[in-house]
Structure 1
Amino acid sequence: MDLQAYQQRSRATARYPEAGDNPIYPTLGLCGEAGEVADKVKKVMRDQNGVFTPEVIAALQLELGDVLWYVAQLATELGLELDQIAQANLDKLASRAARNVIAGSGDTR
């Protein structure tokens, strides 16, 4: 599935207050879902000596899907397309790699 199709199809399931004029709701949902991903990974470190079992990977796949859903909704709320976001990110990373500044910190390096 391509990102554009995902964004369009996922929008049909968007049920939240003022959908279409509410970037705050998907932003908060994105934070919550990213936290759920982090919590599952933390528990792998704590309880499973860093071993990602097939069950944990399956659970993470579901959580990452939720993260993707909220990213798609936030992008839509802001009038952005996932394809363009993905391409801009790859372009940024390629530029950093070419300038040998892929490591380090700062958004504008």
Structure 2
Amino acid sequence: MTPNEYQRKAMRTATGKCYDATNAALGIAGEAGEVADEVKKFTFQGHDWNPSRVVEELGDVLWYVALMADLLNVPLEYVMQTNIEKLERRYPDGFSNEASVNRSE
């Protein structure tokens, strides 16, 4: 499945009040928090590592990212491509601490 196919299929479930930038932004933050919570439970609370739960939460993050992109009328592939272009500008030779400290942007 391509990112744009995902976006199209995911947006079949975005209806009514949920099709809103505030909902998208809060959803991204909330679901990212659930990813972090899984890591916290494993790292500090003695829970078993549950990769399938993390993948499930990443899917929820992705749904809200697709929603925000849709609200902005941009395909998810465009969001991905512009991010890669930004990373290539910042770190043309790959990430390093020195490149991060001395980047021009």
Using the size of structure 1 for normalisation, the TM-score is 0.80
Over 3 Å counting, the alpha-carbon distance change for 1:80 and 1:105 in structure 2 is: farther
Aligned to 1:88: 82
CA separation of 1:60/1:81 partners in 2, compared to 1, >3 Å: closer, same or farther?
Answer: same
List gaps (5 residues or longer) in structure 1: none
Greater RCO structure (CA 8 Å; 6+ sep) = 1
TM-aligned CA deviation for residue 105 of structure 1: 8.7
Q: How many pairs are equivalent?
A: 102
- Identical columns (%): 35
Q: Which has the higher helix share?
A: 2
Query: Does residue 25 of structure 1 match 2:19?
Result: no
User: Contact between 1:16 and 1:25, CA under 8 Å: does it hold in 2?
Assistant: no
- Aligned-partner residue type, residue 31 of structure 1: A
Name the TM-score, length of structure 2 as normaliser: 0.83
SS at match of 1:95: helix
Give unpaired runs (5+ residues) of structure 2: none
**What is the letter of the counterpart of residue 82 of structure 1?**
L
Q: Which residue of 1 aligns with 2:9?
A: 9
**Secondary structure, counterpart of 2:89 in structure 1:** helix
Aligned position for 1:45:
43
